[in-house]
Structures are given as C-alpha cells and as structure tokens.
A and B are shown apart, each in its own frame.
Chain A
Amino acid sequence: MKYAAKRIAMLLLTMAIVSLLAFVAFDLISGDPATAMLGTEATPEKVAALREQLGLNRPLMVRYGEWLLGFFTGDLGVSYSYRQPVWDLIAPKVLVTLCLSGLTFVLIVAVSIPLGLRSARSSGGILDGVRTLVNQLCMAVPPFFTGILLSWLFSTLLRWFVHGQFPGLDKDLGGSLKYLFFAALALAIPRIAMTVRMLRSTVQGEMRKDYVRTAISRGNDRGGVLYRHVLKNALVPVVTFLAQTMAEIVASSIVVEQVFAIPGLGRMLVSSIANRDYPTVQAIVVILAFWVVLAGTVADLLNQRIDPRLRLGGAA
C-alpha cells in the first residue's frame, strides 16, 4: 500500500512537471494570444481590452494554476483558429482516440502473447530463421503504409467500410468500432512483432534457469512448467514493455488517424500545429502525455502485485 501511495505521488509530480513544461514552453513561443486572435484587426486598444478580458495581465504561475484546474472544470482557454473553447473542440475527440488505442492494445495482447509463448517453445532450425525474417519484416512496415493498403483492400475493394465517413461513436457504435478496427490492425502489426520477439527472448532466458531444469527433472512436462512457473517470472518485463507499447500506440495513432480520416486527437493536433493554434496544441499534448504516464504507473502497480519482491522497494 505504501508503495502504491508513493507511486501515485510520483505520478502526480510527473504530471505537474509535464504540464508546467508544456505551459511555459507554449507561453514563451506563442507570443501575445490577444494579438494572434485579433489578427489584422489588432489595434492597441482592442489588444489591451482583450488581454484584460482573457486575464493575460496576471503572473505566469497564477495563469498556470488556473489552466491546470481547467482540466477538471473543462475550461482550457479559447482556440485561436476556431474561436471556440478548446474543451468543446477536443472532448468528443478524446473518446475516439481512447477507443482506437484501447482496441489496438487488446489486439496486440490477444495476438502476441499466445504467439510469443508458442515461438518460445521451439528454437533453432530453418523455421526459426523464417520466423525471425517475418518478424523483422513486420517491424519494418510503417503503420501508415499498412494503413493505406488496408484501407484500399477493405474500403475500395471489399467495401467493408467507407473510407472518410466515420459514423461517430454516439450515432453508430458498432459501425464506428468496425471502422476503428482496421486502423487498429495497421497500428498493431509492427508492435505485435516486437512484443512476440521480446516475449520470446524473455521466456527463453527464464527457461535456462536452474529452477526450470529442476522442475523438468522432477518429471513435470515442459508446457506445464512454462505456464505454471516461467510465465509468472517472465511477466514483469512484459508488463513494462506493454506500457511502453501504450506510449507508442498513442504516437503512431497520430499518423494512422490521418490515414483513415478518423476525427481523433491526433488529427486535431496536426492541424493545430499547422495553424499555430497553441492553446489547442498545449491541451492535446498534455492529455496525451498524461495518458502515457498513467499507463506507466498502472504497469508499475501491476508488476508490484505480480512480483512481491518489488513491494520491498528493491529494483527488479
């Protein structure tokens, strides 16, 4: 329990640092938001009035505090390019990106764990070479290229979904999930290859240990030892790896959303960067970063449940 409390405190601290960095960085570069919002209509009087209205004349830390509070109250400032509250713009998109990364994650876990364990049980020979080549090839395919091929195959050729017409989660949940599934597939392929490879080398490393030899020499069959003893010990690095996978999914989903024309946070982020719409960029970056840091914390907490040795504070 003490460990969990410490870990959560660390999580909050990291989030505070991340958001402070984002706030200060964008505050420094974005120049004067009032001038930016008024554009060509800017006169000194109008700028001064808007500055007062937006509360820009107060100290940085006060504004940071208020902005951070905005994540709970839903007030994240006003977008420069849409002239709408940032919160209203991104709130519907958060759920879409969340669904996409969730779906991808489930796909990765469901495919790579059985596959990784299977491939760990055999080694050497021609089959191993073929497997390594296929693995390296899958890792080499960028998700946006697979995305183009998949959307051509399933949309243009087979007409299983209509590219560019995302139904919307609230209107047609089943249709939306089907649409997201193909994007998730493109995202998952290289990560499945990496997870299989990682799982394989971890399990094989564990299989060479003394306790496994003892268990087998006492007459247990290899499969039983693998599932009952080895898996438990090999799980800790795998959970950590899967948390990093979450971070990578978030990153590549930015690109894949573009390929499949999915109205998620990633697409919003890209267009906001192109338009130099800093309040929106700021909010999205912090939300994505929080999501990643949270995944890391959950992984650490899970690991500490899996391996009691970690609860004593020792490094694994």
Chain B
Amino acid sequence: MNKTRMNGYLKAGLILTGILTALIILGFFWTPYDPELMMAGPKLQGPTWQHLMGTDKFGRDIFSRVLRGAGSTFTIAASVVAIGAVCGTAVGALTGYFGGILDEALMRLNDALTAFPSILLALVIISILGPGKKYNVIVALGLVFIPSFARVTRTAFAALRDVNYVKSVRLMGASNGRILLVHILPNTMSVLLPAITIGFNNAVLAEASMSFLGIGVTPPDASLGYMLSEAQGMFVAAPWYALGTGVTIVLLVFGVGLIGEGLQRRNGEVA
C-alpha cells in the first residue's frame, strides 16, 4: 500500500473541511453582522444576498450566528479531541508498552467506562461540574473521550513493543522514553489519525446534542446545538434557520468523515 497516495475521499474531505475551517476562522474575526444584533434586517426573512441564510424572528442575521456557533462547536470539538488523544495516547502507550498489573487494572476500568454511552457519561460529569458552561463541557467530554483513544493506541503500542527495530534501538541503549516518543509513536499514526477523525465527529455531535438539550453551551456563548433547539421552535416560520444550522453540522461531520474514510482506505483497511 502506498502510504502517501491521495485518494478521492481524502481529497474531497480535505477540500470541504478546509473551506469550512477557513470560514470558521474568518468568523472569529469578522461576521457580516453582529450575531447578537437584533433587527440587523427584517424579521423572518428568507435567504437573500444581504442575509445568506435569512433572519430569525428577532431580525438577527442567521449566517453570522452560524459562523459564530460553528466556531465554538469547532473549538470545543478540537479541544475535546486534543484532551482525549493526548491523555488517551499516554495511557495507551504506558499500558501497551510496559504491560503488567497497571495495564490489567486500567484496561478493566476502560472496559467498564466504554460500556457507557458517551453522552450519558458526559451528562453525569456535567451534572457534577454544573451545567451551562463552555469549559465544563470541554472537561466532561474530554474525560469521556480518553478511554477510546487509550484502547486504540494500546493495541498499536503493544504490537510494536517487540518488533525487531525496537529491539535493536533498545540494544543500542535508547531510553524507554525515546523509544516510545521517537520510534513507536510515529508508527501508530496510521491508527491514531483515523481515530482522531472519528473522535472529532463524535465530539461535534456530542457537544451539539448536549447544547441542544440546554445543558451544554448556553447563551451568551454560541453553539450550533443550542441554535438548532432555538430553530426548532420557529421551524414553520423560519425553516432556513434550522436548515442553515443543521446543514452546517452535517457538512462539518461529513467532511471530516470523508478524511477518515480516505485515511482508512489508504491504510488498506476498507476494500
């Protein structure tokens, strides 16, 4: 298998995600209108060139709101995956490479935790930390995402522990830390990268679900999930609000999903 070959899925995914990321970054600095400004245009107006996704019943510009909301959903999902991937890889590396009692104990705990649906666990942690705060959402979801990353990387580290090139650097006197970071970690990327794309999508959906329920991100912070619950209430009067918000979530997840599909095909995991 050619590890550097691009395939159609990877290319399409990267382009779609690239465009969305560029828009989101733009949204941090500039939006066509102030997302919270009432009466930025006429109330409940359908999409026009002035208001690409129309306006809601307060006359707020939906496109600006979607940009801002996507920004915070993106930031949360990225932070959650960062926490999950870094901590999970650390746990996976230590348990997979060293093995022993620690490995046994942590993996049993892991089994028990992965048995829980992720949103349920996150809701429990949120109810302990206190609902409605952005950082609590990141912490809750970040903790929930550690076990799955630990499981994936543990298998990879355990498989590479005793291969010949690792044995030979060990004989040359490389420390365990160096072996783990410099020699094994780069070779786990083929499993870690697809896991990151799947994790990112799960994080987007989990954050949106929690905010939709009103216990994730709540105003004044923007979030696509919260906006969608707002949009459900005015669906008949302003269907473009729900469609604009929902389609943004779908495109974000679809783009990253394509990247994941492409990566897995490149690894030859999917026929």
Chain A residues proximal to chain B, CB less than 8 Å? 14, 17-18, 22, 25, 29, 123, 129, 132, 136-137, 139-142, 144-145, 148-149, 152, 156, 201, 204-205, 247-248, 250-252, 254-255, 258-259, 269-270, 273-274, 276, 278, 281, 285, 288-289, 292-293, 296
Q: With A139-B257, A141-B250, A273-B215 in contact, is A247–B228 under 8 Å at CB? A: no
Q: With A145-B228, A201-B270 in contact, is A285–B112 under 8 Å at CB? A: no
Q: With A148-B235, A289-B120 in contact, is A247–B213 under 8 Å at CB? A: no
Q: With A132-B9, A250-B117, A269-B123 in contact, is A144–B112 under 8 Å at CB? A: no
Contact between B117 and A247 (Cβ–Cβ < 8 Å)?
Answer: yes
A9 to chain B, nearest CB (A): 15
Binary flags per residue of B200-227, CB closer than 8 Å to A gives 1, else 0: 0100010011001111000000000100
Give B260's nearest chain A residue, CB to CB: A136
List 6 A-B residue pairs with CB atoms under 8 Å apart, sorted by A's residue number: A22-B124, A29-B128, A136-B261, A140-B249, A148-B235, A281-B127
Contact between A137 and B212 (Cβ–Cβ < 8 Å)?
Answer: no
Q: With A137-B250, A142-B205 in contact, is A259–B120 under 8 Å at CB? A: no
Contact between B128 and A25 (Cβ–Cβ < 8 Å)?
Answer: yes
A228 to B201, CA, bound (A): 37
Contact between A273 and B126 (Cβ–Cβ < 8 Å)?
Answer: yes
Contact between B120 and A144 (Cβ–Cβ < 8 Å)?
Answer: no
Contact between A255 and B124 (Cβ–Cβ < 8 Å)?
Answer: no
Q: B242 on the interface (CB 8 Å rule)?
A: yes
Q: B90 on the interface (CB 8 Å rule)?
A: no
A269 to B209, CA, bound (A): 14
Contact between A136 and B123 (Cβ–Cβ < 8 Å)?
Answer: no
Q: With A137-B250, A140-B250, A255-B209 in contact, is A204–B228 under 8 Å at CB? A: no
Identify which of residues 225-256 in chain B touch chain A, using a CB-to-CB cut-off of 8 Å. Answer: 225, 228-229, 231-232, 235-236, 239, 242, 246, 249-251, 253-254
Across chains A and B, the number of contacting residue pairs, with CB separation under 8 Å, is 119
Q: B116 on the interface (CB 8 Å rule)?
A: yes
Size category of the B interface is 35 or more
Given contacts A136-B254, A270-B213, 12 further A-B contacts (CB under 8 A): A129-B8, A139-B253, A140-B249, A140-B251, A142-B246, A148-B235, A204-B271, A247-B117, A252-B209, A254-B213, A269-B123, A270-B215
Contact between B250 and A247 (Cβ–Cβ < 8 Å)?
Answer: no
A101 to chain B, nearest CB (A): 11
Residues of B within 8 A of A140 (CB): 201, 249-251, 253-254, 257
Contact between B257 and A148 (Cβ–Cβ < 8 Å)?
Answer: no
A286 to B101, CA, bound (A): 29
Residues of B within 8 A of A293 (CB): 115
Q: With A144-B228, A251-B120, A288-B120 in contact, is A273–B115 under 8 Å at CB? A: no
Contact between A25 and B261 (Cβ–Cβ < 8 Å)?
Answer: no
Give A190's nearest chain B residue, CB to CB: B205
Contact between B239 and A152 (Cβ–Cβ < 8 Å)?
Answer: yes
A285 to B266, CA, bound (A): 40
B26 to chain A, nearest CB (A): 22
Residues of B within 8 A of A14 (CB): 112, 115
Contact between A152 and B236 (Cβ–Cβ < 8 Å)?
Answer: yes
Q: B41 on the interface (CB 8 Å rule)?
A: no
A156 interface neighbour in B115, B120, B225, B236, Cβ under 8 Å: B236
Contact between A144 and B131 (Cβ–Cβ < 8 Å)?
Answer: no
Q: With A140-B254, A201-B270, A270-B215 in contact, is A148–B246 under 8 Å at CB? A: yes
Contact between B116 and A292 (Cβ–Cβ < 8 Å)?
Answer: yes
